[in-house]
Structure 1
Amino acid sequence: EKAVKRQKKELEQARKRIAELDRIFKRIYEDDINGTISHERFLKLSTEYEVEQKELTEFVKVGQAAVDTYEQDRTDFDSFAAVIRKYVGIRELTPTIVNEFVKKIIVHAPDKSTGHRRQRIEIVWNFIGELEQDEDNQTIERQRKSRTA
């Protein structure tokens, strides 16, 4: 949370500097036209300011994307937590409850290459996306083997 506030402050400062560079560039252009500074000096300064402005623009673009991602993740987490609190202690799983938690279920084609029929199923949850389930798959496989032994 503190890091995001700091990031937002840095982004605001960068945006102000970008606007300031626009004003400076306009001023040195007018100075070049009026002959207040040499054209060579204008070219040198304008190149330096343009490089700085491009770097700041990229910084703002990347930083804003990171802030937006954090805020979206935070909103998704808060929504997910609210749904979980709503269903604490449920006795029966209804389609309504499933629909609040599950965005989609993807059932892949069966694989019989190992001699056993295996079918991959992906569950994409609302608010948090897909969770990696390698450990769960290994646990299910061990349980299945222990039942057949």
Structure 2
Amino acid sequence: MNSSISEKAMGSYYSNVFSKDYPSTHRLPPAKQLETISELTNALKQIQTQVDTIYQDVAYLRNHSAQSTSKALQTSQSNLGGYSPSVRLAFRIVKWFFLFLIGFAVISVFSATLGGEQFFKPLLSLLEPMLVPVVIVTFCTVAVVVIFESLK
């Protein structure tokens, strides 16, 4: 939007109409009203043009990012393509196991910091019997995959 339009249309109009010096019934002369309306209409058309341009840019960026994301996924899948499905399964199991441990560590730190130990202790007592079998299954899966792949 041009500064001349904003100064002329917005500045003078709002300063005259919304000024505390004038009563609320103050009106601009009809000629000035038409001029101001035409300036505001032109400003609105310019804003609409800018909005349309922004929508086009957003649509382009969405399409472009979707294409680059699909290319990145294809690249990452082709990099993992050298591994057998059992190795990929073992990687996923280990990844989720470590994400679980990290989440559990974060929860324990927050509960200790914020004084929520009375909530954390029952949670720990519930998860403790399940944690040992999960650790055993995770490392056994990794060991089986390592042995299986080394025999190939």
TM-score by length of 1: 0.38
Higher helix share: 2
Q: Which has the larger radius of gyration?
A: 2
Higher RCO structure, 1 or 2 (CA under 8 Å, sep 6+): 2
What is the TM-score normalised by the length of structure 2? 0.37
